A and B are shown apart, each in its own frame.
Chain A
Amino acid sequence: MRMRQVRQVFVTVGVLVAITVGFRMMQKLDTADDVGAISATARVRGITLVKDDGVEFRLDANGDRWMILFFGYASCPDVCPMSLAYLNRELTKAGPAADTFQPVFVSVDPGRDSPEVLKRYVAAFSSRIVGATGSPEMLEKLAKQLGVYYEVERSDDGSRAKDTASDKSDAARTNDTNETNDSSYTIVHSGAFFIVDPRGKLIKTLSPPQAPGALSAIITQIHDQNKV
């Protein structure tokens, strides 16, 4: 009778340990579900941008680092500085966990934002953020893959002076911002942060308004679930 009770206790403990270990493994393998993946299929593939140091940058071959992507442009007066300042605060708040991530400011204004301009621009916010841009075709491809939308607006009342995107999908309407160098236009763009895993899979989108602590919580969660 006593042996039977001892055996039952061992079996129960064994089952509990197995469940706990299994659950942790599932958490590690499927981080996307835990942080609320928005799409099972959105993935960055075959995207090469130019970093602010002039070096080419493959977004889907980023070693073991996750990416935090933000789309904007250096002449943006309100949302971009506000968002990059927020990003810097959240990276600081996350502490060492933030080292798991490469934050990238993707300029959708290659006509005005050369790598040199971007380097000076992002440095004003954080030394951890990398500026990057690319050809209009490459930016359009990236935008389509992530479901990002951006377009040039020229007139002061916000009406479109030119829309070359009429034959494109809603998800990636873009204009060729490479053909002009004037400063009279603004660009409509997403105000969200895109969290992409090292294999290029879009894991989460953090849309505005971003609450203090929201991004650092995601950073910490992903870091904790994926640390070796």
Chain B
Amino acid sequence: MRAYAKLRGPLLPCLLLPLLAAAPAHSPVTVAKAWVRLPAPGGHMAALYLEAANESDTPETVDAVTVSGVASAHVHETFTDPKGMTRMRAAHDVAIPAHQTLSLSPGGFHVMLHGLSTLKPGQTVQGSLRLKSGLTVPFTATTRSAAD
């Protein structure tokens, strides 16, 4: 009995650890409103849009976005240059500030998808948002026609 009392201190966390690991972890970053604009016939590129909300006190940074069934996925930003021309550039280290929402939307940040297999509007694709903190947030995106 005395031996048990001696071991109880270090043993208790060990016994509880598997229980904690099994509990569903609440991700501080959630993804919503994910959708893919399918390329129009003749087009090659699709674009993924979503909203990533960071509910934590810690800023997060996007490392990469992966989407199943595509050859490549790159975060890009559309912007207007001083001459009024619309340009696109690769967007690295896009931040999701604490308690804010990053919006990837038409005419701004988006994920360029190359080589998306033939899909119809209304279908879904699986993807994940990988953050530099090591967190990975899975999401499901609904496909829409190019004209949406």
Contact = CB atoms under 8 A, between A and B. Distances in A.
Given A113-B42, A124-B40, A85 B86 contact: no
Nearest to A205: B84
Say whether chain A's binding surface is mostly helix, strand, loop, or mixed: loop
B84 A207 contact: yes
Most-contacted residue by chain B among A76, A77, A123, A156 (CB, 10 A): A77
A208 B139 CA distance: 30
A220 B46 CA distance: 33
B88 A85 contact: no
Interface string A13-33: 000000000000000000000
Contact of B90 (A75, A158, A190, A192): A158
Contacts, number: 104
A157 B88 CA distance: 9
A77 B42 contact: no
Interface of A: 74-79, 81-82, 84-85, 88, 113, 117-118, 120-121, 123-126, 149-150, 153, 156-158, 170, 183, 186, 188-192, 207-209
25 contacts: A75-B43, A75-B44, A76-B43, A77-B43, A77-B46, A77-B47, A77-B110, A77-B113, A78-B37, A78-B47, A78-B88, A79-B107, A84-B146, A120-B40, A121-B41, A124-B40, A124-B41, A124-B145, A124-B146, A149-B85, A158-B88, A189-B85, A189-B86, A191-B85, A207-B84
